Amino acid sequence: MNEKKMKNFIVLILFVFVSNIYLQTRARTEIQIPDILGYKTLKCDFHIHTVFSDGNVWPTVRAEEAWREGLDAISITDHLEYTPHKEDINLRYNRSSEIAKSHGDELDITVIKGSEITRSMPPGHLNAIFINDADKLKTDKWQDAVAEAVKQNAFIFWNHPGWKAQLKEGKIKMYPEHIDLIERGILKGIEVVNDVDYYPEAFEWALKYDLTIMSNSDIHDPINLYFNFAEHEQRSKTLVFAKDKSEEAIKDALINQRTVVYWKNNLMGSEKYLRPIFDNSISFDKQELSFTGRQTKFIQIKNNSEVDYKLKLVSSSQSVDLPEEITFKGNKIVLFEVRPKKKDQSGKEKIKAVYEIINMKIKPDENMKIEFLFSAEFNPAK
């Protein structure tokens, strides 16, 4: 190899090496869920730990993890009362959010200052976010910590209400202390999902008491040690419908309950948000079918979101056979098969089929239903 060839070879090797590092280490994967109702659909995680409490991660890493995973906003919520690394760091309660925010600002990730008020049950663990001084929340009595958070205009929510370590006789329970906080307008949200645990009771309470429903990771470890991204595992997230990703807009959305749980391919929350998410995800290539005899026809259904919508037939017209179950796979087009039941049918009919979407819950025990409408023209087989 002459000198010039050698040089080119080295440049090529360097290029391959550098581009591999680039591809492997610093790429963002967008979360594909459509915007709705004139709002941006923000992907958020409002419960995250760092070394400033019992987490195993430096705060800047949290901002970049969120960026890579396609999130828009996070809140760092280190425990005030449980700080096992305090001998190894210079513990100050505001620092984790501040350090994460400095990197978040670089990456356009909104980092909201928070704290986890970590007490025995009741009230258990409460997150106060949008605070301005975490130091002042370190009080002897939990009531004083909550009062200070209120003074700082925090949004306060109840963390992991079904956490096993804090259950009485193994039962998830709302205490008079919680009801009192709700009635005084202090407790505004509840984690329906924390980490990999879903609490149907919390979903029920959110509906009953008009609480903002939330789903957060409560991550302590480095995110890619905890989830297997190669297997498409993801952290639990709260979808927030906000004008933009500023703190003010996110806070407005949380106060007005414009949220949906996004957890393991499940969407849970109010139908007024779930329905437009589904409608904006799905499109059809045609809605008129013409049959001869028992010929099978197809409607191509495109899903622009990453969610695999799992449908189950509830009722349909007597004239045609439709899939009993079908999955509108994320980012795919699927064939929806329609076949007349009888070969000698004739005439036109508006076909209506009702499906329930088993991974879209509007109540703990109720799935969202959709109506599927198309027109059919039947010609008898010759």
96 belongs to the binding site for Zn ion (CB under 5 A) = no
64 belongs to the binding site for Zn ion (CB under 5 A) = no
Q: Report the largest interatomic distance among the alpha carbons of the chain, rounded to a whole angstrom.
A: 87
Chain center to CA of 134: 26
| Cα gap 133→149, rounded to integer Å | 9
Q: Which of 45, 65, 218, 306 binds Zn ion (CB under 5 A)?
A: 218
Cβ-based nearer residue to Zn ion, 72 or 218? 218
Closest CA to 250 of 94, 367, 101, 75: 75
Q: Yes or no: say if 145 and 80 are a contact pair by the CB < 8 Å rule.
A: yes
Stretch that binds Zn ion, among 17-25, 108-116, 221-229, 265-273 (CB under 5 A): 108-116
Stretch that binds Zn ion, among 23-31, 105-113, 117-125, 272-280 (CB under 5 A): 117-125
Stretch that binds Zn ion, among 90-98, 147-155, 202-210, 216-224 (CB under 5 A): 216-224
Stretch that binds Zn ion, among 202-210, 214-222, 238-246, 352-360 (CB under 5 A): 214-222
Cβ-based nearer residue to Zn ion, 65 or 218? 218
Q: Yes or no: say if 265 and 359 are a contact pair by the CB < 8 Å rule.
A: yes
Q: Which of 60, 159, 166, 316 binds Zn ion (CB under 5 A)?
A: 159
Q: Which residue is nearest to Zn ion (CB)?
A: 125
Shortest Cβ distance from residue 115 to Zn ion (Å)? 10
Taking 3-state DSSP, the helix, strand and coil percentages for the chain, each rounded to the nearest 5, stand at 30, 35, 35
Cβ-based nearer residue to Zn ion, 148 or 218? 218
Shortest Cβ distance from residue 124 to Zn ion (Å)? 8
Per-residue binding letters, 315-354, with Zn ion (x by CB under 5 A): ----------------------------------------
Query: In sequence order, what are the residues at sequence separation of 6 or more whose Cβ sits closer than 8 angstroms to the Cβ of residue 335?
Result: 298, 299, 300, 301
69 belongs to the binding site for Zn ion (CB under 5 A) = no
Stretch that binds Zn ion, among 103-111, 125-133, 251-259, 295-303 (CB under 5 A): 125-133
Structure-block tokens of residue 135? 């130091």
- Applying CB under 5 A, the site for Zn ion has a residue count of 4
Helix axes 59-68, 95-107, angle to 10 degrees: 40
305 belongs to the binding site for Zn ion (CB under 5 A) = no
Cβ-based nearer residue to Zn ion, 79 or 361? 79
Q: Partners of 375 in the beta sheet? A: 288, 350
| Cα gap 40→239, rounded to integer Å | 10
| Cα gap 314→300, rounded to integer Å | 21
| Cα gap 167→297, rounded to integer Å | 54
Which residues in this chain contact Zn ion in the complex, by CB under 5 A?
A: 116, 125, 159, 218
